[in-house]
Amino acid sequence: AQRVTQPEKLLSVFKGAPVELKCNYSYSGSPELFWYVQYSRQRLQLLLRHISRESIKGFTADLNKGETSFHLKKPFAQEEDSAMYYCALTGGGTSYGKLTFGQGTILTVHP
């Protein structure tokens, strides 16, 4: 079974501070990991995926297979980063298109 755990329901930081949103997963094969974000009154959208190794809006995430983690990091948080963040994975084979989401972390960046 595939599972994604985001241990923090709420995370508050001040503008300019570093931020890390934690994500741990369990999957027996080689999953593909994603971070999705939902800003206030907007639809859920892809932020980044581990295979692209891109930095989007200053965010990065490294897949650590040993620790089965995919934490999202940004060195200097901005107020516009306030949103709900979801970590998600897909597996291989027939389940490849099925996104399994974590419960989400609400990030609030204070001025």
Query: 67 vs 13, 25, 43, 60, CA distance in Å?
Result: 25, 9, 31, 17
Interface residue with another protein among 47, 77, 86, 109 (CB under 8 A) is 86
Q: Binding to another protein (CB under 8 A): which residues in 6-35? A: 32, 34
**Nearest approach, Cβ of 25 to another protein (angstroms)?**
13
Strands 100-101 and 83-90: antiparallel
For the chain, give me the number of helices (H) and strands (E)?
Answer: 0, 11
**Nearest approach, Cβ of 21 to another protein (angstroms)?**
15
**Nearest approach, Cβ of 36 to another protein (angstroms)?**
8
Type and span of the H or E element at 80: none
**Nearest approach, Cβ of 72 to another protein (angstroms)?**
16
* Closer Cβ to another protein, 12 or 45, answer by number: 45
Q: Given CA atoms 9, 10, 15, 19 in this order, what sign does their dihedral have?
A: negative
Interface ranges with another protein (CB under 8 A): 32, 34, 43-46, 49, 86, 88-90, 94-104
